[in-house]
């Protein structure tokens, strides 16, 4: 249990009555476990770029009522296999995107995640990372409203392998794409069901990006997509679709 407002890192965090205060202490309490679960009892407010602790075990972040969660003004980077569920995420950035990055780890936005646009935009999701390359992407998003979802990254990074993105029951007000300026050396697979997507780019959205493998986009039951682009002169090329 973590209470960023009233917790204390001298607590063991193993009960609601004795929550830790910081994310670092919460992850440290998971040492030696096969899986981890961290329950937020209040909202964590972040004003600077934040790297979550490196972790090799699957960790689920959730909250007591669903109203608690994370409010961030800068990007958030996760460094291990992570599931987020039953939480509220608020983007406080005034004039720029706030990224939530999976860093190439298996990453799931589970059920009952609420996203709030307190600044100019909703959160953007990236399967890769803006600050390093990765060997693959496995991104699943099952709730929330998002600004953009980049299979790879927002910046000039490489996914040295395949990228798989599954979207079900969500809204994207901007674009879903292979990435912005990034490279995917393998295949890109995007599956959409029961979701409202403004635009899908079956490529990277700028010419500096590249997808070397095949691209498969599947629109399942209840998928509503307003605009769809395979490629254009202003975007990256794909080898097969």
Q: Which pair of structure tokens corresponds to residue 5?
A: 């407002």
Kindly calculate the radius of gyration of the chain based on its CA atoms and give it in whole angstroms: 18
Question: How far is 11 from 201, CA to CA, in rounded Å?
Answer: 48
Question: How far is 69 from 16, CA to CA, in rounded Å?
Answer: 16
The top-scoring range by mean pLDDT among 107-121, 147-161, 200-214 is: 107-121
pLDDT at 21: 98
Q: Residue for token digits 């998928």?
A: 223
pLDDT at 127: 95
pLDDT digits (tens, 9 = 90+) for 50-67: 999 999 999 999 999 999
The secondary structure of 27-55 as a DSSP string is: HHTTTT-SSEEEEESSPEEE-S-EEPPP-
pLDDT digits (tens, 9 = 90+) for 61-86: 999 999 999 999 999 999 999 999 99
Using the predicted structure, report yes or no on whether residue 238 has a pLDDT greater than 70: no
Query: In 3-state terms, what secondary structure has residue 116?
Result: strand
Indicate the average pLDDT of the chain: 91
Q: Which pair of structure tokens corresponds to residue 88?
A: 């509220």
pLDDT digits (tens, 9 = 90+) for 163-173: 999 999 999 99
Using the predicted structure, report yes or no on whether residue 125 has a pLDDT greater than 60: yes
Q: Average pLDDT, stretch 134-142?
A: 96
Give the contacts of 240 (CB within 8 A, at least 6 positions apart): 213, 214, 215
The secondary structure of the chain in percent helix, strand, coil, rounded to multiples of 5, reads 0, 45, 55
Q: Average pLDDT, stretch 113-130?
A: 92
Under 8 Å between Cβ of 146 and 171: yes
Quick one: CA dihedral 235, 218, 160, 108, positive or negative? positive
What H or E segment, with its residue span, contains residue 203?
Answer: strand 196-204
Q: Which of 81, 203, 189 is nearest to 134 (CA)?
A: 81
What is the side-by-side strand order in the sheet with 114-117? Answer: 44-46, 69-72, 88-91, 114-117
């Amino acid at each position: 249990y973590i209470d960023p407002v009233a917790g204390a890192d001298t607590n063991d965090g193993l009960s609601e009555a004795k929550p830790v205060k910081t994310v670092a202490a919460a992850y440290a309490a998971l040492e030696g476990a096969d899986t981890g679960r961290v329950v937020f009892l209040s909202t964590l407010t972040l004003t600077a770029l934040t790297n979550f602790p490196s972790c090799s075990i699957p960790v689920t972040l959730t909250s007591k009522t669903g109203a608690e969660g994370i409010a961030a003004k800068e990007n958030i980077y996760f460094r291990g296999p992570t599931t987020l569920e039953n939480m509220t995420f608020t983007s406080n950035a005034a004039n720029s995107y706030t990224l939530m990055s999976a860093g190439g780890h298996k990453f799931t936005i589970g059920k009952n995640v609420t996203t709030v646009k307190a600044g100019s935009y909703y959160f953007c999701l990236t399967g890769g990372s803006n600050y390093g390359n990765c060997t693959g992407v496995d991104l699943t998003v099952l709730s929330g409203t998002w600004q953009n979802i980049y299979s790879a990254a927002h910046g000039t990074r490489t996914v040295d392998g395949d990228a798989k993105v599954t979207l079900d029951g969500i809204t994207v007000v901007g674009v879903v794409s292979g990435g912005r300026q990034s490279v995917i050396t393998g295949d890109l697979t995007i599956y959409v069901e029961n979701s409202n997507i403004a635009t899908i780019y079956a490529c990277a959205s700028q010419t500096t990006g590249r997808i070397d493998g095949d691209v498969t986009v599947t629109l399942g039951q209840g998928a509503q997509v307003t605009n769809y682009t395979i490629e254009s002169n202003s975007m990256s090329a794909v080898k097969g679709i």
